[in-house]
Structure 1
Amino acid sequence: MPPLADSPSAHPPLPRPFRLDGRVALVTGAGRGLGFEMAKSLASAGASVVINGRHAGRLEAAAAALAAETGRVVDTAPFDVADPDAGRAAIAAIAQRHGRLDILVNNVGARDRRPLKDFAPGEIASLIATDLVGPMLLAREAAEHMTAHRHGRLITVTSIAGQVANRHDPVYTAAKAGLTGLMRALAVDYARAGITSNAIAPGMFATETNAGLVADAAFSAFVDVRVPLGRWGRPHEIGAAAVFLASDEASFVNGHVLTVDGGQTVRM
């Protein structure tokens, strides 16, 4: 006797939420820090992950660590995101090897805290090339492959520096604000191809890059006052944001900045 129409056994089981099985992801700047943590979360959710960075040795060590922690093979793609030809070749190689590219996490960011008057024009151009132009071109290349499958997730890691500014940080702030604008433009341009474009804006996280500030008692006291949660972000706390935006559960989220800052940007 077949099950009644309204009985649980009459319906197929729902897929596990926030799973990325069968998806292929490229995470730039993933040799350490927040990029590493996002790559780990994506792999743990079932994605086939490729990590990028400029230093092949560091990437291989990171891939081994990710494999040990997630039980999944993680590929590496060492290249400089500021090199358009290298980025184009890397994305083509990923698509050829895996048959597709579903998720791009544009995470690389260089920072140079100095007053604008202290920058030579070439130094400004170099930072903008890494922080804004490189991600723009990678998104363009990735979207071409995503369009063929009518599915894709472009995830841009900006910063709360794209929303609020500190003294002596003009080039980075301008680039991150530019990335926010780029993300919104791509959300409009690629939506009909089944591609969403969103951003993650991290606040102050206790990463290797910020180790000196974390160890500075005076600065950590400032964090305690400025961040409503009263602490630094822990690197693993960024991963779920990437998984959500990459997942089918975020299929109608497009053109959004997901701020992960413990409430810092909403405090007076």
Structure 2
Amino acid sequence: MKRTEFGRLALDDSALIAAGEKEAVLDFTVEDTPPSIFINLIVPDEKAEDFAAVASLPPGFSLAKVRIIESDPVERFWLSVNVYRVSGLTTGLRTEWSTYVDDGSGVPRFMILRARASEGSLDPIGPLAPPEPFTHLVDPAGVIRTDIRKTVVQNGATVLTPNNMFSSTVALPEVADRQYVLPTRQWVTANDFIYWRNGVNDRIFHNSTSHSPQLISVDLGDVTLQDNTEWAPFVDPIPGHVLVYLDKIKFKIGPWWNITQPDGRVDPTTLASLQALKKTLYGGLTSVSAVQVLSGNEEPLV
């Protein structure tokens, strides 16, 4: 009975999503192996204007200061590098370079400046981003090693080069030496809407894994960085902090939310080009999920 009833509801929902009459809300899990890391780099006030120019924020957006963890003494401008392994809406390793912006509401929000996906992804900038492999693992000594190389496009294909783009090592402390920290409400709230550089946003629905996580700050003496991104000249070379999530983070994501819930932040050309694609992509994904619910292989989302 459960499979039949909720499978039917899921099929009905997928039809509405394909028609643009309902929002897709999908599982998104940040896995704990290897751990997710946040390398939070301070953008000094005197460099913020130049950083914003290089970041190419869309019209109507400006940089916003936030406190990330409760022990942060003041709000700052930041560039956050988040590296993690994901399952759900997409799979594989991802790196996101994000800053924090005011979208005109007065509430700071995440804005992804660049995303890199080892197995490709469905991002509203691409929107079909090709795979760009990189390394993110924990070695036998308990060191999280991340190695991201630059890529070039050759004959229409993305090709890895030997040139470093961003790399880091983060040595995990012994259990007795872990420094647990709390994210600020402001930082968690900033993640309610995640913007892309064309003004498109994803809407996030959290649970306790986001606002009450097993989160540690690693001693900066146990961290090394090599940063050759275009943003390196605008951030302090020593991070404000390096955070490691020890558990999974599970939430729901409403992708490309303001494409079918227009808010005036996406230009008409981009809006028109993504509306039909969103219906096709996410109508198809949710119909596959509905079949899984009918067969008893997936739990319904209601």
Please give the range of the TM-score, normalised by the shorter of the 2 chains: under 0.3
Tell me the TM-score normalized by structure 2.
0.24
More strand per residue: 2
Q: Which has the higher helix share?
A: 1
Greater relative CO, 1 or 2 (CA 8 Å, sep 6+): 2
For normalisation by structure 1, the TM-score amounts to: 0.26
